[in-house]
Amino acid sequence: MEELRESPAVPESTSKPTLNSWIKSDSAIRAADLLAGAIVIALIFWWLQYSTEAICCGDYDGYYHIKWSRLIWDNLRAGHFPPAFPWLPLTTLNPKNYVDHHLLYHIILIPFTWFRDLQTGAKVSAVLFASLAVFSCYWLVVRYEIRYRLIWLLALLASSAPFLYRMNMTKAPPFAIIFLVLGTYLLFEKKYLPLLPLAFVFALTYDMFVLLGVAVAIWTIVIGWSEERFEWRPLVCVGVGSALGLMINPYFPHNLYLFWEHARVKITPGGFATKVGQEWYPYDTHEFVVNCYVALAAMLVGYITFDWSDRKRAQRPLFFLIFATTLLLMIARWKRFAEYFPPFAILFAAFTLESLWRGRAVFTHLPQDVMADLQPFLDREDAAVVKKEEKEKENWRLIKAGIVAIGLGAALFSNVYRTAKDIRESDPREHYAKGIYWMRANVPAGEMIFNTDWDDFPRLFYFDPTHVYTSGLDPTYLHDQNRDLSDLYVKITTGDDEDPGPKIRDRFGARWIFTDNSDDHVSFIDNALKSGWFDRVHDESDCTILHIRDQKGEPPPEDKKNDDDKDNGDADNSP
């Protein structure tokens, strides 16, 4: 009877330690760290994204991406795929040759076009994808049990102000980081077959899939050095997956030409054939160091602490050493890689330091049975001294970790503050909107609009898809389609042509001109109005719309008067 009365106590006593042990287990701690990291990352990107009400930031490409995704959705519902793209008929993106080299990214964006306001959908998508990109890097740290992982989370977020800035754009680079992290994990686990579908999806999403090829080539080199064998499987899987992604594509084979066009124009040791976006030019040294000092410090730490002695243990650090260094060389040539170098620099330092610490702690982590066998040979007093010294060293490591955390916290605050300020000072939500709405209401649908800046096209396309435009998305598209026309476009828009009216009408087929009111186009506007070919039909604080007359005449009265006043003023001040 006593045994029966005592038996219910057994499951009760065993259940409590099981629950307590799970709460204190490594898996529970990892889950808590991941949850805390996800919350911190999301809050930071949400706050940065909503530093402006506009689609973030710097360039206007996000307007094109979200609008085009909505048009894809509308066409899918109507049974048309892929939809036609008539908006840049003078460029290589003309209706016959248009290629969507972000195809899968635009499809992924479609649910965000169901928001009542497309700009809100674009911003929410940017927060989500940027957060997932940084979280994937942090997950890699947690997955491989890198110690002080919350400090590494701080380092990832503080790595670079341009990294935070560019991650907030409604563009595809966050997916490139996510795919590269997944590829890195598969390489480390030597699970090579899943690299094939990963490469396939990557190639359909974004043309930076070439970085996955770079990563597997580096891994093959690392395996050759550490294991003295040729590991061909990841090369084949990524090669086949990338090829399938390029060929099983509604734009094949034109997508191959566009890919070659990008590579040929942008990957050059010297200058570009035509002016391109600022992201394809290099940083100056001071700007680079100020923007990326945390990432550069991480690279320095990694280089100093890298240990070549144990080839097996050095595999992962060596991979990050070569890959991060490759990205460092790329960002030194092109700002475009500002979103790739910083997080992989942090991962390089994290994995290198962890490898060093584990190498030094091999003896102290011997199994208990081995330590028991060795105990008779160890002096008890010396063992106590060693234990005390180890505890003192651990305390000192915690102090140093605290100092590093404070420093990284300060860097994070500085970079977040700078990034929020830059985002806040970018063009507002309704920039150009009034002028474009006037144009949409007053210019016949289908007319060619001569836009004086190729990078204004995304906003024009977003607010007014009823017209077509001379240049957009990248100046190389006009340059490659018609070099003479591209050179004339530059000459006209910079004010080097004093009588642009007939050329715009006859060579570009446009009677309407949309120009911003920046200093870049003051000469163009002056030349146009003085020539007698143009009327200023609409004027806003941020843009001007001109119309080419049927015949040349006198300058508009208000502009002629301003010109006469200027001439009289010059005469009065003459000696």
The CATH number linked to 499 is 3.40.50
In a domain, 73, yes or no: no
Least confidently predicted of 9-18, 147-156, 512-521: 9-18
Judge if 438 and 386 occupy the same domain.
no
Looking at the structure, do residues 284 and 376 belong to the same domain, yes or no? yes
Where does a domain end: 424, 444, 462? 424
- Return the sign of the alpha-carbon dihedral for residues 234, 239, 242, 243: negative
What is the model's pLDDT at position 258? 83
Alpha-carbon distance of 420 to 200, in angstroms, equals: 36
Whether residue 333 is contained in a domain is answered as yes
- Whether residue 70 is contained in a domain is answered as no
In this prediction the pTM is: 0.86
Asked if the model's pLDDT at residue 386 lies above 90, the reply is no
Mean pLDDT computed over every residue of the chain: 86
Tokens for 322? Answer: 């070569």
Report yes or no on 467 lying in a domain.
yes
Residues 320 and 444 in one domain: no
Claim to verify: residue 173 and residue 120 sit in the same structural domain: yes
* CA-to-CA dists, residue 12 to 6, 17, 19, 498, 557, angstroms: 11, 9, 11, 92, 95
Mean pLDDT over residues 197-225, rounded? 96
Pair 486, 407 in one domain: no
Q: Is the pLDDT of residue 284 over 70?
A: yes
* Per-residue model confidence (pLDDT) at position 553: 85
Question: Considering 377, 395, 424, which residue would you say is the last residue of a domain?
Answer: 424
Name the amino acid, one letter, at 294: V
Residue 408 lies in a domain: yes
With respect to residue 103, please indicate whether it lies within any of the assigned structural domains: yes
Co-location of 417 and 444 in the same domain: no
Residue 278 confidence class, pLDDT cut points 50, 70, 90? low
Residues 458 and 491 in one domain: yes
Q: Which of 142, 106, 124 is nearest to 45 (CA)?
A: 124
Whether residue 395 sits in one domain with residue 453:
no
Whether the CB-CB separation of 200 and 244 falls below 8 Å is answered with yes
The parent domain of residue 486 ranges over: 433-572
Among 407, 424, 441, give the residue marking a domain's end. Answer: 424
The answer to whether residues 372 and 500 belong to one domain is no
Residue 78 lies in a domain: no
- Please state the domain count of the chain: 2
Q: For 191, phi and psi rounded to 5 degrees?
A: -100, 85
Q: Do 219 and 347 sit in the same domain of this protein? A: yes
Backbone angles phi, psi at 539, to 5 degrees: -140, 130
Average pLDDT over residues 394-413: 85
**Does residue 312 sit in the same domain as residue 173?**
yes
Give domain status of residue 65, yes or no: no
SS3 track for 238-274: HHHHHHHHHHCCCCCCHHHHHHHHHHHHHCCCCCCCC
Residue 568: band (very low, low, confident or very high) from pLDDT cuts 50, 70, 90: very low
Same-domain pairing of 339 and 274? yes
